Each structure stands twice: as C-alpha cells, then as structure tokens.
Amino acid sequence: MLTCVSLSMKKRIKLEFFDRSGVKHSLAIEGDFTMDKVGRLLEYAEIVAGSNEHSSHSQGYESKMSKLMDVINTQPPGHAFDSRHICQSYRETWGDDFTLGAVSTYLSRLADRGTLERSGSPAHWFYRLKASPVVPP
C-alpha cells in the first residue's frame, strides 16, 4: 500500500508491505523529497520483501533487479564474478548509480533463491550463474 498526502506544502509518503515471512513493514518519508528518494524507498522495499517483479512505480522503466540480471546474463557461462565486477559492469551498461552494498545484497538474495551459485568466504564471495538442468532426450 502506498499513500501520498500533501500537508500544506509538505509531502508525505507511507509505504506498507509484507515480506515473505509475513512480517509487516511500514516506511514513511515526509517533507520536500525527490523522485530519486521515493525510488530508493521502493527499492529498499523490493529488497526486503524479496520481490523480483517489476514495481508499479517504475512507469515503463526497468527495475534494478531486471537490469542487474541483464548484466549477470552477459557474463561468460561458468565464469565466476564478484560484486565489484558486477557493480562496475552495471554502471557501464546502464549509467545508473548502484552502490556496491546494494549489488552485494541483490547477489546474495539471488544466491539464496538458487539463481546463482556462491563460493568463497564472507570476506570475498564469488558468484556464477547456475547451470540449467539438461533433460536427456
């Protein structure tokens, strides 16, 4: 649920959502804010809720998750990569600013969901796309 209220020149947005475990989250910003701040609020909600769907706020723009997956899918098959490499590739490809911490969070979630394989250690994780299972004819 997203509500926007104008309070005599002050704006307020309140975002309420449930994560995958059923926990309700409520976030609000009030005052003079930009669409970039609203986008970051919705991006946070997308990360916490575990959604990889396009958000309704995008109005024709691709979500960061879909852009990130486009970058990941350009990696050579079987090639290991880290969050720094993907963050740099993302910035070069899309020209958007995407923090290293956010990229790391997205990659971790993709590994948790089974899209990526993760190896290494918490100090330096490496990822690679999971191979699609081949069904014999």
Q: What is the pLDDT along the chain (137 residues), one digit of tens a residue?
A: 555 554 455 778 887 777 766 777 888 888 887 777 777 777 777 777 765 444 444 433 467 888 888 888 888 878 899 999 999 999 998 888 888 999 999 999 989 888 899 999 988 999 998 876 555 55
DSSP letter assigned to residue 135: P
Residue 94's pLDDT is 86
- 135, with CB counted inside 10 A (0-12, 13-18, 19+), is exposed
Domain covering 61-137, topology: Arc Repressor Mutant, subunit A (1.10.10)
Residue spans of the domains in the chain: they are 1-51, 61-137
* Pairing of the two strands 116-121 and 24-31: unpaired
**Does residue 80 sit in helix, strand or coil?**
coil
DSSP letter assigned to residue 77: T
Residue 1's pLDDT is 57
Residue 4's pLDDT is 54
